[in-house]
Structure 1
Amino acid sequence: MNKFLIFVFILLGLNYLNSQKYDFNWIMGERTALIKDSLDGTAILNFNSQNGSPLIQSTKKINTDFWYYGTLISDMEGEFMFHFHGNFLFDYFNYKGVNGYKKICPQEFCAYDPQSCLILPGGMNDTSYSLLTTESKVVGDTFAYVLNLRNNFHQLVNSTNNTGVTIVSTNNLFLSDSIDIGKITACRHANGRDWWIIIGRYNKPEVYTILFDGNKVVRSFIQNIGRIPENQSNGYSCFSPKGNYYCSTSIKESNNLSHGIFELYDFDRCSGQLKNRQFDQLDTTPTIAFGCAFSPDSRFLYLSSSYYLYQYEIIDGKLSNKTVIAEYDGHIGHVFDNNTSSSTFGNLQLAPDGRIYSNPEFLQSRYMHIINKPNKSGAACDFIQHSVRLKSIITTTPSFPNYRLGPIDGSICDSLDIDNIPWCWWRYNQDTSSHLCFEFTDLSAYEVAEWYWDFGDGTQSRDTSPIHCFSKNGNYKVCLIVKNQYGSDTLCRTLNIGTTGIINNERQEIQTEIFPNPARDYLIINIPDYIPENMKIKLFNSQGSEVLDQRIYQGSNIIDTDQLINGIYFVYLRDMNGLLKTYKILIE
Structure 2
Amino acid sequence: MEQFKKLFIINCTILLLVLKVHAQVKYDYTWALGISDLTNPASLIRFNDTGIVSIDSSSSRMRLDGDGSIICDAEGKLKLVFKNCFALNESLDTLIGSYKLRNKSGTISYCNRGGGQYPFDQSTIIIPSSLDSNKYHLIFVDGGFLTEEQDSLKALDYGRLFVQSVDFSLDSRGEVLGERVELLKDSITPGMITACYKNSSSNWWIMARLDGTPCYSLLSLDRDSFSFVRRMCFGSDLTGRNDISGSSEFSPNRKYYAHYLTGNGIYVFNFNDVTGELSNYRKIDKYGIDNYYGRICFSPDSKLLYLFSSGHIIQFDLLSADINQSGIIIDSFKFDPMNENFASYFSGKIGPDGRIYVGGLGAHKYLSVINRPNCRGADCDFRKQSIELPSRNFWGLPDSPHFNSNVRSAECPASQVTDKYKWSDIDFRFLYSEEKILLNIFNSEMQSGVLNIFDVHGMSVINKSFKYGPNFYPLDNLPAGVYFVNLYFNDISGCLGRFIKY
Same fold, judged at TM 0.5 (above)? yes
CA distance in 2, matches of 1:126, 1:369: 34
Deviation at 1:29, TM superposition (A): 1.1
- DSSP 3-state at the match of 2:383: strand
CA distance in 1, matches of 2:56, 2:35: 15
Return 5+ residue gaps in structure 1 as ranges.
1-17, 253-259, 335-339, 406-422, 428-440, 443-588
CA distance in 1, matches of 2:200, 2:351: 24
Equivalent position amino acid for 1:26 in 2: W
Deviation at 1:48, TM superposition (A): 3.9
Aligned to 2:385: 386
Aligned to 2:471: none
- Asked if 1:327 corresponds to 2:332, the answer is yes
Aligned to 2:262: 251
Q: Which has the higher contact order (CA 8 A, sep 6+)?
A: 2
Aligned to 2:456: none
- Asked if 1:218 corresponds to 2:227, the answer is yes
- Asked if 1:28 corresponds to 2:39, the answer is no
- DSSP 3-state at the match of 2:367: strand
- Asked if 1:129 corresponds to 2:136, the answer is yes
Q: Report how many aligned residue pairs link the two structures.
A: 369
Aligned to 1:43: 43
- DSSP 3-state at the match of 2:379: helix
- Asked if 1:116 corresponds to 2:123, the answer is yes
- DSSP 3-state at the match of 2:243: coil
Aligned to 2:198: 189
CA distance in 2, matches of 1:378, 1:186: 29
CA distance in 2, matches of 1:295, 1:383: 13
Pairing 1:288-367 to 2, within 5 Å after superposition: 288-315=292-319, 319=323, 321-331=326-336, 334=339, 340=340, 342-361=342-361, 363-367=362-366
Aligned to 2:368: 369
Aligned to 1:3: none
- DSSP 3-state at the match of 1:302: strand
Pick aligned residue for 1:153 from 155, 159, 166: 166
**8 A Cα contact 1:333 1:367, kept in partner:** no
Aligned to 1:94: 92
Between 1:324-333 and 1:112-121, the stretch displaced more is: 324-333
- DSSP 3-state at the match of 2:262: strand
Equivalent position amino acid for 1:182 in 2: G
Equivalent position amino acid for 1:396 in 2: G
Deviation at 1:203, TM superposition (A): 1.7
Aligned to 2:211: 202
Pairing 1:177-576 to 2, within 5 Å after superposition: 177-190=186-199, 192-226=201-235, 228-230=237-239, 232-252=243-263, 261-315=265-319, 319=323, 321-331=326-336, 334=339, 340=340, 342-361=342-361, 363-394=362-393, 395-405=395-405
- DSSP 3-state at the match of 1:236: strand
**8 A Cα contact 2:159 2:190, kept in partner:** no
Pick aligned residue for 1:76 from 58, 74, 77: 74
TM (normalized to structure 2)?
0.67
Deviation at 1:214, TM superposition (A): 5.0
Change (3 A) 1:63 1:295: same
**8 A Cα contact 1:128 1:153, kept in partner:** yes
**8 A Cα contact 2:265 2:285, kept in partner:** yes
Deviation string for 1:77-132 (max 9, x for gaps)? 10011212232211123332134x63313045283312011101222433321111
Aligned to 1:568: none
Change (3 A) 1:203 1:149: closer
Pairing 1:49-60 to 2, within 5 Å after superposition: 52-60=51-59
Change (3 A) 1:296 1:286: same
Q: Deviating runs (4+, > 6 A) in structure 1?
A: none
Equivalent position amino acid for 1:154 in 2: D
Aligned to 2:174: 165
State the superposition RMSD in angstroms: 2.8
**8 A Cα contact 1:227 1:263, kept in partner:** no
Aligned to 2:460: none
Deviation at 1:145, TM superposition (A): 4.2
Change (3 A) 1:296 1:116: same
- DSSP 3-state at the match of 1:354: coil
CA distance in 1, matches of 2:292, 2:186: 24
Change (3 A) 1:239 1:374: same
Change (3 A) 1:156 1:310: same
- Asked if 1:105 corresponds to 2:102, the answer is yes
Equivalent position amino acid for 1:118 in 2: I
Aligned to 1:509: none
Between 1:62-71 and 1:192-201, the stretch displaced more is: 62-71
CA distance in 1, matches of 2:147, 2:221: 31
CA distance in 1, matches of 2:318, 2:83: 35
Change (3 A) 1:384 1:227: farther
**8 A Cα contact 1:333 1:365, kept in partner:** no
**8 A Cα contact 2:210 2:216, kept in partner:** yes
Between 1:311-320 and 1:86-95, the stretch displaced more is: 311-320
